[in-house]
Amino acid sequence: MPGLADHLHFGLVREVLGLSNQTAIRITSLGSSKYTRDMTSHLPEVSGWRIAPGVRAAGKYDCCYFQGYTTDKALTARPEKGHHAKFLECPDVFKGKADGWIESLYQLNINAIKSNLSTARMEVRVPLSKAKSVLLNVDEELLRSSLIKVHPTIWWSVIHHFYLLLFP
């Protein structure tokens, strides 16, 4: 299971978009209006990102949007009622639905150990005229060092234990 290391977002953004160090730091700093981190499940040092760089940081490919993400969330993604993942509302807890909800998450995680291999992806939105050249010459060592590899049994077991801490 791959994840993307937080502290290396800057390097990937600089490399892929062809930005100066100063610009890449500016648009990948916490607090930047251009940058959002999406924590990967339960690991605070591992996250994807979404960047809308704006005209001044669009780089040599005139990028209008750049994201890095992992596909592990596909199992729990439920974009409804303003949420982006499985959720349980307080009234449902009071109605006794928490145990069933936790059991379904547990089964989801156990099944995922065997059947869900996540991937790390980067998506760059650029004008069609530049689409054939973006992402072709990214430093291979930078890509490798930006990924964090975790065995599926550990990945999904940790998520399961995280839920158990929330709902003992």
- Residue pLDDT, tens place only, 35-65: 888 877 666 788 889 999 999 999 999 999 9
Dihedral angle sign, alpha carbons of residues 110, 112, 117, 123: negative
Number of H helices, E strands in the chain: 6, 6
Residues 6+ apart with CB under 8 A from 75: 108, 112, 116
- Domain containing 129 equals 2-166
| Band of residue 102 on the pLDDT scale cut at 50, 70, 90 | confident
Better pLDDT: 1 or 33:
33
Q: What percent of the chain has pLDDT over 90?
A: 35
- The DSSP H or E segment spanning 120 is strand 120-125
Choose among 63, 64, 53: nearest CA to 26: 53
- What pLDDT score does 82 carry? 66
Q: Evaluate if residue 167 carries a pLDDT over 70.
A: no
Q: What is the pTM of this model?
A: 0.74
